Amino acid sequence: MNEEQKKQGFNFKKFILIAAVLAVVIGAGAGIYLLKASDNPEFCSSCHLMESYYESWNDSNLLAHKHAVSEDKLECHDCHEASISDRIGEGVKFITGNYQDPLEKREFSRDFCLECHDDWDSIVAATDFEDSNPHDSHYGEQECNLCHNMHQQSVVMCAQCHYFSWMDELDDSWTTD
């Protein structure tokens, strides 16, 4: 191998090394950008599966929107805490089309809700209506998600068997059906 061939081989190896480093830097930068962008609720709506969830958060009378405009101004990841690996997995599912449609409904425990909301006794006290208390059920302590839905109408479970006057005062984010 002559001197010119050695230089060309060295230059080619140098080129490959620089290209590999550049690809890693660009890939890492793009990944960081996408992870940061995914913190923005509007980013979620770029996936057609998420459009209705985003709309219910952004502009509706549902609980998701009520949380969005609350004093705390909650965003998606405040409740849907996803690890980096979960977010990457969601991105891969989006790109490959390997996802469930519609998405499976997530059910948060009462303990999860009580991380932000008052303690259970305060909630019971606040909803002690003249003719009943939906949070003091004869079924005992219930999970919040049996009635309260973030991205769909909430359901008055009591209405399956009972009628109470406070049900007439509920807005149309609730159903008694």
Quick: pLDDT tens for 94-145: 889 898 888 888 889 999 999 999 889 999 999 999 899 999 999 988 999 9
Count, in order, helices (H) and strands (E) of the chain: 8, 2
**Domain covering 110-175 in this structure, CATH number:** 1.10.1130.10
Would you report the helix, strand and coil content of the chain in percent, each value rounded to 5? 55, 0, 45
Cα distance between residue 112 and residue 80, in whole Å:
11
Tens digits of residue pLDDT in 60-97: 999 999 999 999 999 988 998 888 888 888 888 888 98
Whether the per-residue pLDDT at 167 is higher than 90: the answer is yes
Q: pLDDT value at position 126?
A: 93
Sorted by where each begins, the domain ranges of the chain are 3-96, 110-175
* Dist CA 61 CA 173 (whole Å): 6
Tokens 């958060």 — which residue? 57
Q: Which two tokens stand for residue 111?
A: 């303990």
pTM, rounded to two decimals: 0.76
Higher pLDDT, 40 or 109: 109
